[in-house]
A and B are shown apart, each in its own frame.
Chain A
Amino acid sequence: MRSFLLDALLKGKATVAPPAPGTAALEEVARMLGERVRQRLGRSLSIREIDAGSCNGCELEINALNNPVYDIERFGLKFVASPRHADVLLVTGPVTWNMREALLRTYHAAPEPKWVVALGVCAANCGVFAGSPAVVGPLADILPVDLHVPGCPPAPIEIVKGLLALIEARAPGS
Chain B
Amino acid sequence: MSAVPTLSDLVAGRDAGPDGYARLDVEPGVWTALAQGCAAGSYDLSALWADAGKMRMALNSVGLRAIVSLSTEGGVYPSVAAHHAPAMRLERAMRDLYGVRPVGLPDSRPWLDHGRWPGRQSDARYEFLTAEGEGLHQIAVGPVHAGIIEPGHFRFTANGETVVRLEELLGYVHKGVEGLLAGADIARGAAIVGRISGDSTVAYAWAYARAVEAALGWTVPPRAALLRGIMAELERLSHHINDVGAICNDASVLTINARCTLQREDMLAVADACFGHRLMMDRIVPGGVAVDLSADGAGRIRGLMVRLEETRAEVLRVYDSMPSLQDRTVTTGIASPDLVRQYAAGGFVGRAAGRSFDVRKNFPYAPYDELPFDLKTRTTSDVDGRLLVRMDEIVESLKIVGLMLDRLAPGDIRSDGPTPMASEGAALVEAFRGDVFMSVRIAADGRLARVHARDASWFQWPLLEAAVEGNIVADFPLCNKSFNCSYSGHDL
Contacts and interface: CB of A to CB of B under 8 A. Distances in A.
Interface of A: 1, 3-4, 14, 49-64, 66-69, 79, 81-83, 93-94, 96-102, 106, 127-129, 131-135, 152-153, 155
Contact of B265 (A59, A67, A79): A67
B118 A133 contact: yes
B16 interface: no
Interface in B256-291: 256, 258-259, 261-262, 264-265, 268, 272, 278-279, 281
22 contacts: A1-B322, A51-B150, A54-B198, A54-B488, A55-B201, A55-B488, A66-B261, A67-B261, A67-B264, A68-B262, A93-B173, A96-B172, A97-B114, A98-B112, A98-B117, A129-B177, A132-B176, A132-B179, A133-B118, A134-B179, A152-B281, A155-B278
Interface in B123-181: 143-144, 146-151, 171-177, 179-180
Contacts of A51: 144, 149-151, 173
Contact of A56 (B112, B144, B264, B486): B486
Contacts of A60: 198-199, 279
A131 B180 CA distance: 8
B180 A106 contact: no
A56 B197 contact: yes
A98 B172 contact: yes
Interface stretch (B188-196, B439-447, B472-480): B188-196
B320 to A, nearest CB: 12
Which secondary structure dominates where chain B touches chain A? loop
Given A67-B258, A133-B118, A106 B279 contact: no
Given A60-B279, A68-B258, A98 B195 contact: no
B173 A96 contact: yes
Contact of A4 (B151, B261, B318): B318
Chain B: interface size category: 35 or more
A1 B197 contact: no
B171 A68 contact: no
B173 A99 contact: yes
B175 A53 contact: yes
A166 to B, nearest CB: 18
B118 A97 contact: yes
Nearest to A121: B195
Contacts of B144: 50-51, 83, 102, 106
Given A81-B146, A98-B114, A129 B198 contact: no
Q: Which of B192, B265, B314, B486 has the most CB of A within 10 A?
A: B265
A63 B255 CA distance: 16
Contact of B172 (A56, A66, A67, A99): A99
A128 B173 contact: no
Given A64-B261, A134-B175, A59 B149 contact: yes
Nearest to A152: B281
Contacts of B256: 4
Contacts of B262: 14, 67-69
Which secondary structure dominates where chain A touches chain B? mixed
Q: Which of B151, B177, B321 has the most CB of A within 10 A?
A: B151
Interface in B2-35: none
Contact of A57 (B148, B195, B491): B195
Contacts of B314: 3-4
Contacts of B149: 51, 59
B352 to A, nearest CB: 22
Contacts of B118: 97, 133
B175 A59 contact: no
Given A4-B255, A100-B116, A69 B150 contact: no
A156 B291 CA distance: 22
Interface in B308-342: 314, 317-318, 321-322
B116 A101 contact: yes
A135 B175 contact: yes
B487 interface: yes
Given A81-B147, A96-B173, A97-B116, A57 B279 contact: yes
A4 B259 contact: yes
Nearest to B260: A67
